Each structure stands twice: as structure tokens, then as C-alpha cells.
Amino acid sequence: MNDNLQSLDYQFLNTSMVDRNRVLRNTYWLLALSMVPTVLGAWLGVATGLSYALSGGLGLVVFLVGAFGFIYAIEKTKNSAAGVPVLLGFTFFMGIMLSRLIAMVLGFKNGTELVMTAFGGTAGVFFMMASLSTVIKRDLSGMGKWLYVGAIVLMVGSLINVFVGSSAGMMAISMLSIAIFSAYMLYDIKQIIDGGETNYISATLSLYLDIVNVFQSLLALLGIFGGEKD
């Protein structure tokens, strides 16, 4: 009897591990794929000047309505065939939203170098957090509530700074954003590994938002500190 129970436990654990690995693998593949529409959206925004048409209050409204609308749609379709196309549509939208910052940085003499540095730095942070998630054995689910509070504080500070326009405020917000969303990467990947997240579309959405926030914050800091004017 005990042997049968042990055999069932082993089979359950083995199946659970296979499922977790499949979710993690699918998440990484979809995350890589999501970068394609992001780049296309950013290129379109820069090439057409669309990003400048969405500046100021109008841009903020479009971003908030579009982002929350897409996130709601993704959560509603994550268990259907429409989930992936909706997610990719969101990443294209985010590319357009990022294009204003990218265009501003490209206006510097060393703009291309700064964009590539931000991209490389973001990739480095991601791979570091992914590696840490496989090494850390403790449960990190308790981090979630603290990171959520930090993200809310960050959002409020960002909204205030949109109207204040403080360079010092932007630097502080960017550094805080890098810290919070780097920690979120670790948390989100660990959730998949530990079985806390079982849907690869939701997992991809979470990691994508982490990556975008780290990238734009790094790019903003590089533009402030390293931008060379003609």
C-alpha cells in the first residue's frame, strides 16, 4: 500500500514538474516573439512621427486606456486561441508608446548607442534574474504584496511628475522603477518555477511588462546622463 502511494506521489510530482517546465518554455518563446511587434511598433512610431502626436495629456490618456484595455482583453482570452494574437497586439501598441522616448534619445549624437546599451542592459538584468530564480529555493510569494505597493507608489509618482516635469524626479522614478521591476522579474519567473503561475500567456504578459519598464527606465537614465548633443 505504501509503495503504491509513493509511486502515485512520484508520478504526480513528475507530471507537475513537466507542466511547470512546459509553461516556462512556452513563456520564454512567446516573450521572444513579442519583441518583434514591439520593435515594429517602435519603428512605426519613430518613422511616422506618431509618437509626437501622442505627447502630453493626450498621450497619457491613450496609453492608460489602451494599456488597461489590452490587459483586460488578454486576461479574458488567455485560455483561448485569441490569447496570443491579443497579446502580440498589445506589444505592438507598447512599441508605439515607447517610440516617443526612443525618438528623443535617437536625437542625441550617440542615440543609437544609448538605445543598444539600454537593450543590452535590460537583457542582462533579465538573464541575471532568470538565473537567480533557478538558484533560490525559498518561496518568494511574500514579495508580491510589497512589490505591488512599490508599483502603485511608482505609478502615482510618475503621474505627478508628468505635470511637474522635474528632471530630478524623473531620475529618481527611473532608478526606483529599475529596482522594482528587476525584482518583479525574479518574482514572476519564480512563480512559474514554483507552480504559482500556470498560464503561459499571463506569465508572458507579466514578464513583458517587467522588461518594458526596465528598458524605458534605463533608456531615460542613459539619455539624461549620457546623451551627447550635436
pLDDT higher than 90, residue 224: no
d(CA 203, CA 184): 12
Domain of residue 52, residue span: 2-226
- CB of 190 closer than 8 Å to CB of 208: no
Residues 127-166: tens digit of each pLDDT:
999 999 888 888 888 888 889 898 898 888 887 877 776 6
The secondary structure of 180-198 as a DSSP string is HHHHHHHHHHHHHHTTS--
- Number of separate domains in the chain: 1
What pLDDT, on a 0 to 100 scale, did the predictor assign at position 141?
81
Residues 100-114: tens digit of each pLDDT:
899 989 888 888 999
- Tell which phi-psi region holds residue 49, choosing left (phi > 0), alpha (psi between -120 and 50) or beta: left
Residues 61-103: tens digit of each pLDDT:
888 899 999 999 999 999 998 999 999 999 999 999 999 899 9
DSSP-based helix, strand, coil % in the chain, nearest 5: 85, 0, 15
What pLDDT, on a 0 to 100 scale, did the predictor assign at position 20?
82
Residues 11-31: tens digit of each pLDDT:
434 446 777 888 999 999 999
**If pLDDT is split at 50, 70 and 90, which confidence band does 52 have?**
confident
Residues 177-209: tens digit of each pLDDT:
999 999 999 999 999 988 888 899 999 999 999
Q: For residue 146, what is its C-alpha cell? A: 510589497
* SS3 category, 47: helix
Q: What is the pTM of this model?
A: 0.88
What pLDDT, on a 0 to 100 scale, did the predictor assign at position 2?
47
What pLDDT, on a 0 to 100 scale, did the predictor assign at position 56?
65
d(CA 199, CA 12): 19
